[in-house]
């Protein structure tokens, strides 16, 4: 199953401030400070307001929109609560972000308890315990479940039975496939590849031109073939967040702001998963598409945003000092979680200290 809260930040605000329920709500930065929309309530979406849109555009689209500043600590707490509700069903929970997770319920299925019933009960628990709605997709694989959870939002429950994967996927627009962003979607439409079915019928050569080494992965997903297991947090090797810039830049101020934002997202994820890491990594892709990564291993494990930001900015400044390149992609990551690894590091440090 894949479960994802509906209009997460906005719904939490509507829940906690009932005067906002039924109103168009946009959670995010202030329109006068070039803020962007993080989450739009479904009432706001009717006016075309969406995540990642400048808040000034949102206000232009609907002058009645209620702009609310995010309360991250509240969202983190709600996230912690929902992951607990998930883990009451199965320990095999893989959080993808604060508001969504994969659940492997294979072992929970019994003769009288079917996956759709598990999903229905889960939706009811979340509604009664947390006062929020979540949409769930149920299928035999991660990608089909994720797509299914997204297509009947809000408050959706979409079940794709074994054997129905292809008939479910093929009529859908290519944009539902994770990994097909605006750029590749435009290229595909130019080739008259509009549906997942069209995608699945392409020779691998065509897909390689667009997706490079991910072509086979995309083709398999389009054919409903996805064998990836649900991975619980403890097995994870690193957590990172990256973004491709709309316009390549060498501006230190812009790059700093992006590194801070990405560090915050990585911190959210670490806090969410209740883990700390010792190594902070910065990834930069230059305009000429060469990629470099710089990393720094710390004495203490880090988790919160300011700690990650500090190291990531140090790496960024080091890079900027030695180059005046423009950059097209930036990523921040944290790794080095395992206690075995840290024990090893600690021994080494003590050894060096002697």
CA-CA-CA-CA torsion sign (306, 340, 241, 72):
negative
Residue number with CB closer to ligand DCP (132 or 282)? 132
State yes or no: residue 153 binds ligand DCP (CB under 6 A). Answer: yes
Using CB under 5 A, which of 1, 2, 3, 4 touches Mg ion? 4
Instruction: Report in angstroms how near the CB of residue 178 gets to ligand DCP at its nearest.
Output: 12
State yes or no: residue 99 binds Mg ion (CB under 5 A). Answer: yes
**Which partner, Mg ion, ligand DCP, none, binds residue 39 by CB below 5 to 8 Å per kind?**
ligand DCP
Residue number with CB closer to Mg ion (11 or 305)? 11
State yes or no: residue 5 binds ligand DCP (CB under 6 A). Answer: yes
Q: Is 13 a catalytic residue?
A: no
Q: Does residue 154 have a cis bond before it (omega within 30 degrees)?
A: yes
Instruction: Report in angstroms how near the CB of residue 153 gets to ligand DCP at its nearest.
Output: 5
Residue number with CB closer to Mg ion (52 or 247)? 52
Residue number with CB closer to ligand DCP (100 or 307)? 100
Residue number with CB closer to ligand DCP (52 or 340)? 52
State yes or no: residue 78 binds ligand DCP (CB under 6 A). Answer: no
Using CB under 6 A, which of 14, 39, 200, 269 touches ligand DCP? 39
**Which partner, Mg ion, ligand DCP, none, binds residue 51 by CB below 5 to 8 Å per kind?**
ligand DCP
Residue with tokens 């290229």: 187
Question: How far apart (Å, rounded) are the C-alpha atoms in residues 108 and 1?
Answer: 12
Of 302, 262, 306, 252, residue with least CA distance to 279:
302
Question: How far apart (Å, rounded) are the C-alpha atoms in residues 337 and 237?
Answer: 7
Of 114, 136, 178, residue with least CA distance to 169:
178
Using CB under 6 A, which of 4, 43, 165, 307 touches ligand DCP? 4
Ramachandran region, residue 289 (left: φ > 0; alpha: ψ -120 to 50; beta: rest): left
Instruction: Report in angstroms how near the CB of residue 338 gets to ligand DCP at its nearest.
Output: 28
Decide if 33 contacts 53 (C-beta within 8 A).
no
Query: What strand order describes the sheet that includes 25-28?
Result: 37-40, 25-28, 66-68
The alpha helices in 239-338, defined as continuous H runs, are 252-273, 305-321
For residue 171, how far is the Cα from the chain centroid?
25
Instruction: Report in angstroms how near the CB of residue 259 gets to ligand DCP at its nearest.
Output: 17
Q: Residues with Cβ < 8 Å from 130, sequence gap 6 or more?
A: 78, 81, 82, 85
Q: Give the total of residues touching Mg ion (CB under 5 A).
A: 5
Instruction: Report in angstroms how near the CB of residue 9 gets to ligand DCP at its nearest.
Output: 4
Binding site for ligand DCP (CB under 6 A): 4-9, 38-39, 51-52, 99-100, 153-154
Which residues lie near Mg ion (CB under 5 A)? 4-5, 8, 99-100
Q: Any idea which residues carry the catalytic annotation?
A: 100
């Amino acid at each position: 199953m894949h479960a994802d809260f509906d209009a997460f930040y906005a719904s939490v605000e509507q829940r906690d401030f009932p005067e906002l329920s039924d109103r168009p709500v946009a959670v995010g930065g202030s329109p006068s400070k070039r803020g962007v929309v993080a989450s739009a309530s479904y009432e706001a979406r009717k006016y075309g307001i969406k995540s990642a849109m400048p808040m000034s555009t949102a206000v232009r689209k609907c002058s009645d929109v209620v702009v609310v500043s995010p309360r991250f600590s509240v969202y983190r707490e709600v996230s912690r609560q929902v992951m607990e509700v998930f883990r009451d069903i199965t320990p095999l929970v893989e959080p993808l972000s604060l508001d969504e997770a994969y659940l492997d319920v294979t072992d929970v299925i019994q003769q009288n308890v079917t996956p759709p019933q598990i999903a229905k009960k889960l939706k009811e628990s979340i509604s009664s315990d947390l006062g929020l709605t979540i949409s769930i997709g149920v299928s035999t694989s991660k990608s089909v479940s994720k797509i299914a959870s997204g297509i009947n939002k809000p408050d959706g429950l979409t079940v794709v039975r074994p054997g129905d994967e292809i008939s479910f996927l093929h009529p859908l627009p290519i944009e539902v496939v994770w990994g097909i962003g605006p750029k590749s979607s435009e290229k595909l439409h130019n080739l008259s590849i509009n549906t997942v079915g069209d995608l699945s019928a392409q020779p691998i050569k065509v897909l390689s031109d667009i997706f490079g080494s991910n072509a086979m992965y995309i083709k398999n997903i389009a054919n409903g073939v996805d064998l990836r297991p649900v991975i619980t947090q403890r097995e994870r090797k690193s957590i990172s967040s990256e973004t491709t810039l709309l316009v390549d830049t060498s501006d230190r101020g812009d790059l700093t702001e992006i590194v801070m934002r990405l560090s915050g997202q990585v911190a959210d994820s670490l806090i969410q998963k209740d883990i700390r890491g010792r190594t902070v990594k910065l990834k930069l892709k230059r305009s000429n598409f060469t990629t470099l990564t710089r990393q720094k291993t710390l004495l203490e494990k880090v988790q919160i945003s300011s700690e990650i930001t500090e190291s990531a900015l140090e790496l960024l400044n080091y890079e900027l000092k030695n180059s005046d390149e423009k950059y097209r992609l930036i990523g921040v990551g944290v790794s080095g979680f395992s206690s075995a690894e840290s024990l090893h590091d600690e021994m080494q440090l003590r050894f060096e200290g002697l």
